[in-house]
C-alpha cells in the first residue's frame, strides 16, 4: 500500500508544472474575451474596407455622370452652332458610341476597385483566421494546463491528507 502511495505521489509531481505559478481561470477567460474583441475589430475593418472602396466607386460614378453630361453639352453646343446640319444615323451612332465608351471605361474601373476590395477583405479574413486559430490553440493549452494543475493538486491533496483512523473491532 505504501509503495502505491509513493508511486502516486511521484506521478503527481511529474504532472505538476515545474514553475511556481499556476494558471488562473481568468487567463483562459481573458484569452476568450480578447478573441471576441478581435472579432469585433475584424468586422469593423471589413466594414471600413467596404466604405473605402464604395466611396471610390461613387467617385467614379460621379466622374462618369459628369463626363456624360459634358459630352451631351458638347453635342448640344455643336447642334446650336450648326442648326441646319441634319442629325443623321451616323451622327447618332457616333453620339451613342461616345456615351458607351465613357460608360465602359467607368465599368472597367469599378470592376478593378471591386476586385481590390474583395482581395483586401479576403486578406483580412485570412489574417483573422490565423489569429483565431492561434488564440484557440492558446486557450486549449491554457485550459489543458489548468486541468493538469487542478488534477495534480487534487492528487496531492488526497495523498497528503491525514488517513482516517482505522477502527479495529474485536469479535
Retrieve residue 76's grid coordinates: 448640344
8 A C-beta contact, residue 64 and residue 99: no
Give the pLDDT band of residue 149 (cuts 50, 70, 90): low
Expressed in angstroms, the distance from the first to the final Cα of the chain is 25
8 A C-beta contact, residue 152 and residue 12: yes
pLDDT digits (tens, 9 = 90+) for 98-145: 899 999 999 999 999 999 999 999 999 999 999 998 888 888 887 777
Q: Pick from 54, 49, 65, 53: which is nearest to 105 by CA?
A: 65
pLDDT digits (tens, 9 = 90+) for 24-81: 777 778 888 888 999 999 999 999 999 999 999 999 999 999 999 998 888 888 777 7
Look up the pTM and report it.
0.62
- DSSP code string of 110-152: HHHHHHHHHHHHHHHHHHHHHHHHHHHHHHHHHHHHHHHHHHH
Retrieve residue 61's grid coordinates: 460614378
Amino acid at each position: 500500500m505504501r509503495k502505491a502511495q509513493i508511486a502516486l505521489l511521484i506521478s503527481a509531481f511529474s504532472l505538476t508544472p515545474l514553475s511556481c505559478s499556476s494558471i488562473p481561470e481568468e487567463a483562459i477567460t481573458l484569452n476568450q474575451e480578447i478573441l471576441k474583441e478581435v472579432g469585433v475589430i475584424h468586422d469593423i475593418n471589413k466594414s471600413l474596407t467596404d466604405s473605402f472602396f464604395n466611396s471610390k466607386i461613387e467617385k467614379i460614378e460621379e466622374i462618369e455622370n459628369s463626363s456624360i453630361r459634358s459630352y451631351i453639352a458638347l453635342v448640344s453646343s455643336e447642334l446650336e452652332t450648326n442648326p441646319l446640319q441634319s442629325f443623321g444615323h451616323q451622327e447618332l451612332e457616333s453620339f451613342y458610341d461616345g456615351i458607351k465608351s465613357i460608360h465602359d471605361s467607368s465599368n472597367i474601373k469599378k470592376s478593378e476597385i471591386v476586385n481590390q476590395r474583395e482581395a483586401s477583405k479576403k486578406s483580412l479574413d485570412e489574417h483573422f483566421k490565423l489569429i483565431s486559430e492561434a488564440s484557440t490553440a492558446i486557450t486549449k493549452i491554457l485550459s489543458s494546463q489548468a486541468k493538469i494543475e487542478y488534477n495534480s493538486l487534487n492528487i496531492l491533496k488526497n495523498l497528503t491528507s491525514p488517513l482516517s483512523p482505522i477502527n479495529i473491532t474485536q469479535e
